[in-house]
Amino acid sequence: MLANSGLVIVDKPAGMSSHDVVAKLRRAFHTRKVGHAGTLDPMATGVLVVGIERGTKFLAHLIAETKTYQATIRLGASTTTDDAEGETLQVTAAGHLADEDIDAEITKLTGEIMQKPSSVSAIKINGKRAHELVRAGETVDIPARPVTVHRFDVLARRRTPEFIDLDVEVFCSSGTYIRSLARDLGASLGVGGHLTALRRTTVGPFTLEHARTLEELNTNPTFSLTLDQALAASFPTLNVNDEDAAALAMGKWLEPRGLKGVHAAVTADGTAVALVKEKGKRLATVFVARPSTL
């Protein structure tokens, strides 16, 4: 089973949901055990991390603390979904705005901020996705939450009398909504704003360089990273001998090693056995990549 387990980094196309991508990879890899991390809206493209077989269980431990997006923000109109797929709520000419005024508001949206997610996000409220509740006609109000926008750079500007389109790159903490940045930027400038394009270029250590298209994967369904490579790429490594590896494969704990945080326990030949973390006086497993029962 482990030979059939790993991660696939997909360059998701526009017009397809993350669930649609999973369905296509189930057929390509001939398995039902396929799952994804970090949902992308149908409008968005770019890096989608997908787990195959035991890789699906690893996704729960894959903490991608940062993500990078390239996007286009249109100033001058607000929509029901904060992106181009929603209905227009209000149009207010934005052509009079000076670059320095826009940049000043972008600065206010950089760093540690409180952000109110879009009402059509995938956040769960009482067990249901917010966007499902909105489509059912319910009013959704999601409380603001802390996020970190490490960089919010304007790459290009295009102006008409009505609109200003900003091509931006955002490097941010996981859980940051780029649609909300567009909405809040437009609101702070008094003209409204929404996304017209969104592309995710990195998720933690995974980039577009790792990614392949669905067409490529359908023709050649292979992993971007094996489970061994995924664990080693995502966490600092702890070298273990064969005896310790066998114990970890059975879920046994080892003597502490003075580690901080989660580590990937790896043997001399590069085999990743488990994710481990010190708990009190024990070095315990938090995920076993190669259970002895397999």
For residue 281, count CB atoms less than 10 angstroms from its CB and return exposed for 0-12, middle for 13-18, buried for 19 or more.
exposed
Which of these is catalytic: 11, 20, 41, 269?
A: 41
CA atoms within 13 A on the CB side of 251: 4
**Could you confirm whether 41 is annotated as catalytic?**
yes
For residue 291, count CB atoms less than 10 angstroms from its CB and return exposed for 0-12, middle for 13-18, buried for 19 or more.
middle
Cα 29 vs. chain centroid, distance in angstroms? 22
For residues 162 and 146, give the distance between their C-alpha atoms in angstroms, rounded to a whole number: 33
For the chain, the first-to-last Cα distance in angstroms comes to: 7
Q: What is the DSSP string of 134-201?
A: HHTT----PPPEEEEEEEEEEEEEEE-SS-EEEEEEEEEETT--HHHHHHHHHHHTTS-EEEEEEEEE
**Residue 6 — φ and ψ, nearest 5°?**
170, -165
Write out the two tokens for 18: 């993350």
Catalytic residues: 41
